[in-house]
Amino acid sequence: MMTRWVRNLGLALSFGTIIPIPDRGPIDDEALLASVSFFPIVGLILGLALWGLNAAFSLVLPRQISAIMALALYTMATGGLHLDGLMDTFDAIGSRKPAREALLIMKDSRVGAMGALAASLLLIGKALAFSKLPLTANPGAWVAVPIIARLAVVWSMPLAPAAAETGLGVLYAQRISPKTLIVATVLGLLGVGLLLSTQAAIILSLLGLGLTLGWTRYIQRRFGGSTGDTYGALIEIVEWVGFLMLTGGWAHG
C-alpha cells in the first residue's frame, strides 16, 4: 500500500513539476489516474518552496524584486506547463473560431496576442500579490493557494468530457474514480484548513469551487470539453485570483 502511494506521489510530482523522479518502470493509465489524488500535495510542496524563496530573497532584496525572483523560479519549477496551457487556451478563445478550428489553434505551439496578454496580466498580478502577502512563520496563503488551484483541476476532471481525441483530456476527463476525487478533496481541504483561518479557508475553497464550475462549463460550451491546456489554464486562473484575493487581508488571519 505504502509503495503504491509513494509511486503515485512520484507520478504526480513528475507531471506537475520538474523535480526529477527515479524511473519506476512502465506506467499505465490506471497509475496516472490514481496519482491525481496527490495533486494537492504537489501544490503543498510548490507552495512551501514559493514561501521559502520569497522569505530568503526578501532578506537581501526589496520585496518587489524578491517577489519577481520567486515568481520566476516558481514558474520554472512547473516547467511553465500551466502557463503554456493558459496561453494556448486564450489564443483559442480569442480566435473566435468554431470549436474544431479553435482546438487546432490551441495545439499550435506559437503564441498569439491573446495568449501573450493573458500571460502578462497573470504574471503581473502574481508578482504584485507576492510583494504584498505577509512573510510570517505560518506560510498560510503561500501554500494554500497552490493547493486549492490543483484541487480545482481534480474537481474539473469529472465535469466535462475530453474536447479532442488525443492529449491529456482523453486521459483524465471523466475517468478519475470517486475514490480519487474524495482523497484529493480531503487532502486539499484539510491542508487549506490548517494553513488559513476558518473564514479565509472557506472563502478560498468556495472561490476555487466556483471558478472550477464556471470555467469548466464555459470550456465545455466553447470547445466541447476539456484539454490538458484548459486544465493548466484553470490552475493559473485559480492561483491568480486566489493570491490577489488574499492580499485583501484574509491572509493575515
What are the distances in angstroms from CA 179 to CA 35, 146, 154, 183, 185?
A: 12, 22, 12, 6, 10
* Amino acid 169: pLDDT: 82
90 neighbors 115 (Cβ within 8 angstroms): yes
224 neighbors 170 (Cβ within 8 angstroms): no
What's the CA gap between 168 and 211, in Å, rounded?
Answer: 21
Residue positions counted in the chain: 253
CA 40 to chain centre: 9
* Amino acid 20: pLDDT: 79
- Say which residues have a Cβ less than 8 Å from residue 226's Cβ, sequence separation at least 6: 156, 157, 160, 161, 162, 163, 169, 172, 173, 216, 219, 220
176 neighbors 36 (Cβ within 8 angstroms): yes
DSSP state of 80: T
pTM (2 decimals)? Answer: 0.93
What's the CA gap between 157 and 176, in Å, rounded?
Answer: 7
* Amino acid 7: pLDDT: 80
Residue 176 CA neighbour count, 13 Å, CB half: 28
Nearest to 83 by CA among 231, 236, 228: 236
- Say which residues have a Cβ less than 8 Å from residue 69's Cβ, sequence separation at least 6: 53, 57, 61
Cell reading at 17: 513539476
> Residues 119-152: pLDDT tens digits?
999 999 999 999 989 888 789 999 999 999 999 9
> Residues 49-66: pLDDT tens digits?
999 999 999 999 999 999
> Residues 103-113: pLDDT tens digits?
999 998 888 89
CA 156 to chain centre: 12
Considering only the C-alpha atoms of the chain, give the largest distance between any 2 of them, rounded to a whole number of Å: 51
* Amino acid 253: pLDDT: 45
CA 217-186-224 angle, to 5 degrees, is 15
> Residues 83-110: pLDDT tens digits?
999 999 999 999 989 999 999 999 988 8
